[in-house]
A and B are shown apart, each in its own frame.
Chain A
Amino acid sequence: MNHILIDLCYAILDTVWDVLPIALIIFGFQFIILRKPIPNLKKIVTGFLLVLLGLGFFLEGLQAALFPLGKLMAYQLTNPEFIAGEHAGRILQWWDYHWVYLFAFAIGFSTTIAEPSLLAVAIKANQVSAGAIHTWGLRIAVAIGVAIGIALGVYRIISGTPLYWYIISGYVFVLIQTMFAPRMIIALAYDSGGVTTSTVTVPLVAALGLGLAGTVPGRNPLLDGFGLIAFASLFPIMSVLAYAQLSAWSNRRSQKSST
């Protein structure tokens, strides 16, 4: 119990270290260039302290509880002995990894729902759109995108196909969707690709990628272990654009039926 508290202090100190350059830039520009007093300075400083404390607790909690178990799980599920099961000795096919796909999908979805930066963007989008974009609608759309992305990324590692095929076809798909999506969602959709992968998702997904690349025959962890994050940042763009298209379409339909 004691060592958790000590680790917590370290986690908070680490966060202070990360926030320091940001605080210096903000207050430096505020006092030297803008030369204006900050409105509600006290409240803002309190807010910064809460963010520091919150991230410290958050990171330490993840380190103590979820990361060790999740990483261990990623290695156990990708272990050839577990995958082969009763068919030990047979050459494994891509569908033998079905639990890995399910794990990739589920862990992609659930870590995205807990991602604080996505929550921040969803809150802001809800405020700016005056409630037209629901916080939960956006978060679930992004989480589905990440889930599909990581499951497909896992398939890529297992099948050994080049990463850029997927990414470039993804780009083409995004551009086609952009032509048909409602204009107001486009910038937000592009943003949602970048916000999904941070504190919670990256460590677990990286463990999954490295575990798989280390155990699938013929894969090199240094070369094939990467790329899952790229999938997790591309697919939410598609799912958010699709979410906007679907809600625009159902709005039109309900308007038609009411007139």
Chain B
Amino acid sequence: MKSFKAVGGALFDSLRDLLPIILVIGFFQFAVLQQPIPNFGEIAVGILFVVIGLTLFVQGLNMGLFPIGESMAYAFASKGNIFWLLCFAFALGFGTTIAEPALIAVADEAANVAANGGMIASDERALESYAQGLRYTVAISVGIAIVIGVFRIVMGWPIQYLIVIGYLGVVIMTIFAPKEIIGIAYDSGGVTTSTITVPLVTALGVGLASSIEGRNPMTDGFGLIAFASLTPMIFVMGYGMLV
């Protein structure tokens, strides 16, 4: 009975998270566009799926992703080998980004822009190799970002200095990068961090900051995602200049 209530409560929470979207779409459909909702049954099933999915995800988060991220952080900290820790950080950043579907979509779009602007030939092989090169560029830049972020936590540097350097990098690259690439480069910062990466990386950062003496999990533990959304902008503009 008790677990039944817990499941009901969790489902209710997910429904509440989803409610704003339903209201917004409903309002614009009925009041602004003044059209009926097409295939209502399918949409109801879809909403049910979203609610179930969100509920399962939050359960899994607390059971799987958070504990494994933290326990690995503790294990690396107690082993005291910073080289392997940084290798792990790079592998995690690179490995989670290279397969990211949003990134694949953006890379293909970028190849079209480049071909349109006459930067590369517009045959299929040139497009594909451009998109692939871009994906590797972004994945490497996220790997480097997590390495820098983890190193910062270990050293205890304040995050704002590194972010200022990153912002300056973005501004300087913007001056020199071809105009066509800027919009994609700026967007690529936002699309790299997926739903599975974020909880893992956050747990890793917080776990490291709480197991290293003198670090505060609040001020030092967060910030890894911030680097992962900054470096791709710089690297993608660099890629646009070189290719």
Contact = CB atoms under 8 A, between A and B. Distances in A.
19 contacts: A29-B91, A33-B84, A40-B67, A46-B63, A46-B64, A55-B53, A61-B53, A70-B21, A111-B21, A114-B20, A114-B21, A121-B198, A171-B171, A184-B219, A187-B219, A194-B198, A194-B225, A226-B184, A227-B183
B219 A62 contact: no
A202 B92 contact: no
Nearest to A5: B45
Nearest to B16: A113
A194 B226 contact: yes
B54 A186 contact: no
Measured as residues with beta carbon below 8 angstroms from the partner, the interface class of chain A is 35 or more
Contact of B180 (A50, A174, A223): A223
A17 interface: yes
Interface string B163-195: 110010011001000011011101101111111
Contacts of B18: 114
B42 A47 contact: no
A159 to B, nearest CB: 15
A175 B161 CA distance: 10
Interface in B37-51: 37-38, 41-51
A188 interface: yes
Greatest chain B CB density within 10 A among A50, A167, A184 is at A50
A199 B92 CA distance: 19
Contacts of B184: 226
B29 interface: yes
Contacts of A43: 63-64, 67
A33 B206 CA distance: 21
A198 to B, nearest CB: 5
Greatest chain A CB density within 10 A among B50, B164, B206, B217 is at B50
B98 interface: yes
A48 B160 CA distance: 34
A51 B95 contact: no
B141 interface: no
Contacts of B125: none
A190 B190 contact: no
Interchain residue pairs A-B with the least CB separation, the first 4 = A47-B64, A65-B46, A58-B53, A61-B49
Given A47-B64, A233-B190, A186 B75 contact: no
A50 B46 contact: no
B21 A190 contact: no
A190 B198 contact: no
B155 interface: no
Nearest to B18: A114
B183 A61 contact: no
B122 interface: no
Nearest to B217: A128
Given A120-B61, A222-B180, 16 more contacts: A4-B42, A18-B101, A19-B196, A25-B91, A43-B63, A49-B64, A58-B49, A76-B33, A82-B33, A111-B21, A113-B17, A114-B21, A117-B193, A120-B199, A187-B226, A195-B225
